[in-house]
Structure 1
Amino acid sequence: MNTAFIGLDYIVDIMHPSGKIAGSAAHAAARDVIGKANQLLDSARDKGWLSVLVKVGFSAGYVDQPKHSAMFGRVHEFGALVQGSDGMAFHPALHAEQADMVIVKPRVSAFYCTNLDAALRARRIERVVIAGVSSTWAVQAAARDAHDRDYQVVVVEDACAAGNEEEHQASMAMLARIAKIIRADEAATL
């Protein structure tokens, strides 16, 4: 089955201890999320899957920032999520150079106003393997959107993190209704 790995928001501002809005950093570190993401990038390369890394960000000057958003409305106050900034760089331990594509998204979902769906359809992708930070937001949004676009959805539980373990587990329980939930070491068997 034609498959793509989609890694979400493995960027400094969101999940590195030095990030400006890194509420998931401790949970991600405790779960070795970057190690698991690297394992998935390796599996994708070995299996010939398309690998896509997606990160959220806004143009310099925040002209495309939704100021009314409860989630993104204040990021300019912290100087976070600016395209080209150190905070939008991928986590330094992530093997981002292995990705076939990098997409910048302007909202929570990896599909919103991006060319992700077009890239997947161009490659005749049928199944998406999703992981990222945070489980509660980016992973849920991408998985739900992929489901509604008729992709078979797989979520890699141990390559995801949230604000805490309770939030993460609640997200996985919800996603189990529309996605297959696996661990990173199972991806090689897909």
Structure 2
Amino acid sequence: MNTALIALDYIFDITHPEGKIARSAQQVVERNIIAHTNQALVLAQQKGWLRILVKVGFAADYIDQPKHSRMFGQVDKLGALALDQSGTAFHPDLVSELGELVIVKPRVSAFYGTNLDAVLRARSIERLIICGVSSTWAVQSTVRDAHDRDYQVSVLEDACAATTLEEHQISMATLAPIAEIITLEDL
């Protein structure tokens, strides 16, 4: 079955302790999320799977920022998520060269306003393995979107993190009816 690994929002502002909106950074560190993601990327490469890195970001002048959004409405004031700044660079420990394609998304889901679905369909991808930060937002949103687009979806649990372990576990339980929850060992 044609498979793609989709890795979401492993960027400095979100995953690094010094990031501007890094509410999940402590869990990223404690649970070794970046190391697990690197392992997943290597495994995906060995298996010949498509490897896509996705990051959220806005234009330097924030013209595309949704000012009314409770999630994104203040990022301009924080100087976060600007595509011309270091905050949208991948986490320094992520081996981003293992990704074959980088997609920039303007909202929570990796499908919204991007060419992700077209790329997957062009490669006849049927199965998606999704991981990222945060479990509660980017992962849940993208998994739900993928499910509704008729992909077979798995969530790589040990490469995902949220603000707290409890929040992460609730997200995994919430997604279990529509996605297989797997670990690196399962890969």
Which of the five TM-score ranges fits, normalised by the shorter chain?
over 0.9
Structure 2 residue aligned with 1:34: 34
1:15 maps to 15
1:94 CA drift (Å): 0.3
Match of 1:88 in 2: 88
> What amino acid maps onto 1:179 in structure 2?
A
Structure 1 stretches of at least 4 aligned residues deviating more than 4 Å after TM superposition:
none
What letter corresponds to residue 181 of structure 2 in structure 1? I
The Cα of 1:185 is off from its aligned counterpart by 2.3
1:99 and 2:94 equivalent?
no
Render the CA deviation track for 1:27-50: whole Å, top value 9, x for unaligned: 111000001100110011000000
CA distance in 1, matches of 2:75, 2:153: 30
TM-score (norm 1): 0.98
User: Which residue of structure 1 lines up, in the alignment, with residue 160 of structure 2?
Assistant: 160
Matches within 5 A, 1:31-70: 31-70=31-70
Structure 2 residue matching 1:35: 3-state secondary structure: helix
Unaligned runs of 5+ in 2: none
Q: What's the % identity of the aligned pairs?
A: 64
Q: Which residue of 1 aligns with 2:113?
A: 113
Please give the TM-score of this superposition, normalised by the length of structure 2. Answer: 0.99
How many matched pairs?
187
User: What SS does structure 1 have at the residue aligned with 2:94?
Assistant: coil
Matched residue SS, 2:29 = helix
RMSD after superposition: 0.5
2: distance between equivalents of 1:54 and 1:93?
16
Shift of 1:108: 0.1
Letter in 2 for 1:174: T
- 1:149 — aligned with what? 149
Unaligned runs of 5+ in 1: none
